[in-house]
Structure 1
Amino acid sequence: MIFGFTTGGAVASESDPTRIVGPNACAECHKQETEAWKGSHHFKTYREMPRNTKANQIAERMGVRRIRTESLCATCHYTVQQKDSQKKPIAGISCESCHSAGKDWVKVHSEFSGKTILFESKAEAAARWKLSESKGMIRPRSFYLLAKNCYGCHVVPEEDLVNKGGHPAGSAFELVSWSQGEVRHNTWHSKGRDNVPASAARKRMLYLVGLGVELETALRAVGKASARKLYAFEMARRADEARRELAAAAKAAPNVPEITKMVEFGHSAGLKLNNDGSLTAAADGVSKQLILITEKYDGSTMAGLDSLIPGPEKYKGTARKPDK
């Protein structure tokens, strides 16, 4: 799920299949990371989802004949590539699902300024990363963009899929516990020796930005809901829970006033139908505070959040240990 960003936040849209290069292009250099991916549900959905009874029941209710090829399912559950005017699912949720379609940036990202990794200077590396980002790459430090991608699917963006199809309204998703479990693939800087967990500072940023994006996403979803049915109820519940958790975070980290402002925006619009304008404005306000947080802070001054952040016992699955 890739997003088109404006000053008002983000709107979900399909990854452009013409710009997908596929996971093999990443696997050439990122072998340990690829092996971690192969042990995850993100990878396994490619084969398992079309055989899943519940998935097929949902597809039948929605009039979907082929789960892998119709965008209602493929947008979140597959990586789709276009070749010779034909779109083809080539993997489950893969590298470009999180880091964006790679056609414009993958060579810049991987060529070490035309040198080898040993001879590229720090200045050249910094320029290479900046150019990669300008061409659309979403790097691990881009907390807000990464979180938007995650929540774009883990909070279901389609009302009818829930109310008509019977699809769950979303996962019990939390960014630290899900990013540090089976999907963790932080092996590059250790040269494959260890799958390094996130630092305390990074976990604080993941936790805080994740909560903010949860609130933003739920507010937008309530605003777009058209029926007093399960989807609207679930999205309102998610928004309310995010507001309460952010209020606790604001008390725990009073030196980050942007958290309090997010809570204020979250309460500025009623969680009800036919209130799209106010809810969208509230979500835009949350979005702007999140961007400020990612620009001003690195997590090092947010130790007060530590007692709120899920520990390893809450991680979703087990992180892969690299081959020695």
Structure 2
Amino acid sequence: MPIDPRPRPTAPARLAAGGWLLALAAGAAAQPTQPTGGDPLDAARVVGADACTKCHAAEMAQWQRTPHHQTIDTLHRKPEADAIADRLGLRSVKRNDTCVRCHYTPIEQSGRVRIDSGVSCESCHGPARDWIEVHAEYGPGVTRETESPEARQRRRLASIGAGMNNPSNLYLIARQCLDCHTTPDERLVDVGQHPAGSGEFELVSWSQGMVRHNFVRSGGAVNAPSALPRVRVMYVVGLMTDLEYSLRAVARATDAGRFGRTSAARAADRKQKLWAVQRLVDDPLVATALESVSDLELTLGNADAINAAADAIGAAAYAFAERADGARLAPIDDLLPPPSQYK
């Protein structure tokens, strides 16, 4: 019997085709998929958090006050973490890819891999070996303050080309958050009994509170809130990226366990929220994302179609992050989380 994964709305809600069903029949064969999120950082290309301090001291000080930083000292002391590791047959929380890929930053030194820190700069912006010099190179006699907009754009694109997840494109940052906040690992959830992602995750509220580190414009003096036009773009990009990653998680499901059901419910919820945006702004890229799932069946054995839809949504989200004019998204203001809800 099909399972309706949609959360029960408090008010009538309309979806693209009157609903979205997940038919996870026990014993059905799932098609293999390539993982796209939550993979371990390449320790050989990690330079370590200390390498960022010279230019980003204020950002580093803010990071050190967050749970992202503190997990290196706290996670392995939590009984629930040990219980999850025991169920998975893991001897140490800090010495396996399953836990390390989301909770720690590994670094390779002298041919050996060790834990450098908790969730760090490179967890979000990517291992920095190949882009840190490009990112910091302003040219002779040029500083961050005197760099021209054209030169900044060239440096930004060069950094992205070298592997940096640059915050000037919000999609590149959103996907790093969702690499872990969707818990894209079926065995970790169904066998280890790890939470099936951060179900309440929303990009604006989770990025604009404690983890916010917007010091660049003020030279390290002020941790400025993001301007409202950027917050509007952030909200839409966050929904699109969350829908993409939730679909990828569904595509990985091999049975009707909690992982598959929760991922499908999350995808249906984000689709519903994206429709609420589209009814207000009628944006062609949001329309493209929604069209890709209009007839999509979230069923075991349909991984190729689900991943193709996720690919289309990811491309639309990247393009939206590049091109969207936040000033024209004012109609969605009532959908945005208020600052009182920032984490």
Residue by residue, what CA displacement relative to the aligned partner does 1:90-139 show, whole Å, maximum 9, x if unpaired? 10000011111111111222242243517854154443333222211222
User: Quick check: 1:231 aligned with 2:256?
Assistant: no
Unaligned segments of structure 1, at least 5 residues: 1-7, 317-324
CA distance in 2, matches of 1:131, 1:105: 8
Worse overlay, 78-87 or 104-113? 104-113
Give secondary structure in 2 for the equivalent of 1:222.
helix
Q: Classify 1:128/1:283 alpha carbon distance in 2 versus 1 (closer, same or farther; 3 Å).
A: closer
Paired position in structure 1 for 2:219:
191
Of residues 212, 215, 218, the one that matches 2:240 is: 212
Of residues 37, 47, 50, the one that matches 1:24 is: 50
Aligned partner letter, 2:63 = W
Larger RCO of the pair (alpha carbons < 8 Å, separation 6+): 2
Identity %: 36
Shift of 1:267: 3.2
Q: Classify 1:126/1:243 alpha carbon distance in 2 versus 1 (closer, same or farther; 3 Å).
A: closer
Kept after mapping to 1: 8 A contact 2:138/2:147: no
Aligned partner letter, 2:236 = L
Residue by residue, what CA displacement relative to the aligned partner does 1:30-80 show, whole Å, maximum 9, x if unpaired? 111111100101001111000011111001101111111210000111110
CA distance in 1, matches of 2:141, 2:159: 16
Paired position in structure 2 for 1:173:
201
Kept after mapping to 2: 8 A contact 1:112/1:120: no
User: Quick check: 1:277 aligned with 2:307?
Assistant: no
Kept after mapping to 1: 8 A contact 2:186/2:259: yes
CA distance in 2, matches of 1:131, 1:114: 17
Paired position in structure 2 for 1:203:
231
Worse overlay, 57-66 or 132-141? 132-141
Paired position in structure 1 for 2:268:
240
Of residues 63, 74, 77, the one that matches 2:89 is: 63
CA distance in 1, matches of 2:297, 2:116: 42
If the length of structure 2 is used for normalisation, what is the TM-score?
Answer: 0.85
Aligned partner letter, 2:43 = P
1:1-324 map, 5 Å: 11-12=36-37, 13-117=39-143, 121-122=147-148, 123-171=150-198, 172-254=200-282, 256-316=283-343
Aligned-CA RMSD value: 1.9
Aligned partner letter, 1:289 = A
Worse overlay, 154-163 or 256-265? 256-265
Kept after mapping to 1: 8 A contact 2:167/2:173: yes
Kept after mapping to 2: 8 A contact 1:62/1:164: yes
